[in-house]
């Protein structure tokens, strides 16, 4: 079993507010693999390079984020592909949008693997009666699928997504919702994540992972 080192602060808290993306698994390899799978289908009808495809995707992503700022929908690949295809075709491409979104997320989730420290840490939490709430941006259905695929659902007490909360991290609203589900106060909790910007709260202590194996 992978050894983990825990700070006294983590040991002293009874609630763990745990980030998901780029904390318990690595996001980038999954995202890149998923986009390439979409491109393989896209290029069958469009004679464009992968670089051109990525530019179209990124432009669509920027436009969607402008419309859905600080909402879970700002991460919606479905909306990215919808906007990209509408811009290109001057109409809504219903079947293609559904297909691209499905290919992307099926490929992404298939590629995911847990970082080595995660299972030992979650077992430690369960064995020591610490409650774990996943607090994550993005849409709920996708994050549920990730947790099921990673095989950790039995270690998680609750999940709160930015789609459910109506606002993104680091808003205290999303962390407050997480604590209300578990029935605990802010002083009982600690946030564990990868982002100095997102995984923090003015009312809850946070720990940022220095690497993906050991918690300091």
Tens digits of per-residue pLDDT, 100-131?
999 999 999 999 999 988 999 999 999 999 99
Average pLDDT over residues 82-88: 98
- Alpha-carbon distances, residue 27 vs 41, 63, 89 (angstroms): 22, 22, 30
Q: Which two tokens stand for residue 53?
A: 């495809």
Q: How many alpha carbons fall within 13 Å on the CB side of residue 4? A: 23
Q: Is the pTM of this model over 0.85?
A: yes
Residue 18's H or E segment, with its range, is strand 15-18
pLDDT for residue 210? 55
Q: Is 196 exposed, middle or buried (0-12, 13-18, 19+ CB in 10 A)?
A: exposed
Looking at every residue in the chain, the average pLDDT score rounds to: 93
Burial of 120 (0-12, 13-18, 19+ CB in 10 A): middle
| pLDDT number for residue 214 | 46
Is residue 201 predicted with pLDDT exceeding 60? yes
Length of the chain: 216
Tell which residue, 183, 132, 186, has the closest CA to residue 154: 132
Mean pLDDT of 29-48: 96
Q: What is the mean pLDDT of residues 76-92?
A: 98
Strands across the sheet containing 189-193: 158-161, 131-136, 15-18, 189-193, 205-208
Decide if pLDDT at 215 tops 80: no
């Amino acid at each position: 079993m992978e050894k983990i080192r825990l700070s006294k602060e983590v040991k002293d808290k009874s609630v763990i507010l745990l980030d998901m993306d780029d904390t318990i698994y690595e996001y980038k390899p999954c995202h890149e693999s998923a986009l390439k799978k979409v491109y393989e289908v896209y290029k069958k009808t469009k004679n464009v390079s992968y670089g051109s495809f990525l530019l179209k995707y990124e432009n669509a992503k920027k436009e969607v984020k402008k419309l859905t700022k600080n909402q879970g929908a700002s991460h919606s690949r479905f909306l990215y592909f919808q906007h990209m295809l509408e811009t290109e075709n001057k109409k809504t491409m219903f079947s293609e949008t559904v297909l691209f979104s499905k290919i992307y997320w099926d490929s992404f989730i298939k590629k995911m693997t847990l970082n080595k420290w995660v299972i030992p840490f979650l077992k430690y939490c369960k064995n020591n009666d610490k409650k774990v709430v996943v607090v994550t941006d993005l849409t709920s259905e996708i994050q549920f699928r990730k947790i099921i695929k990673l095989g950790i659902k039995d270690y998680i007490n609750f999940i709160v997504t930015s789609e459910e909360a109506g606002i993104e991290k680091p808003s205290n609203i999303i962390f407050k919702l997480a604590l209300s589900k578990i029935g605990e106060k802010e002083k009982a909790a600690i946030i564990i994540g990868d982002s100095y910007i997102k995984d923090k709260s003015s009312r809850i202590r946070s720990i940022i992972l220095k690497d993906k194996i050991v918690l300091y």
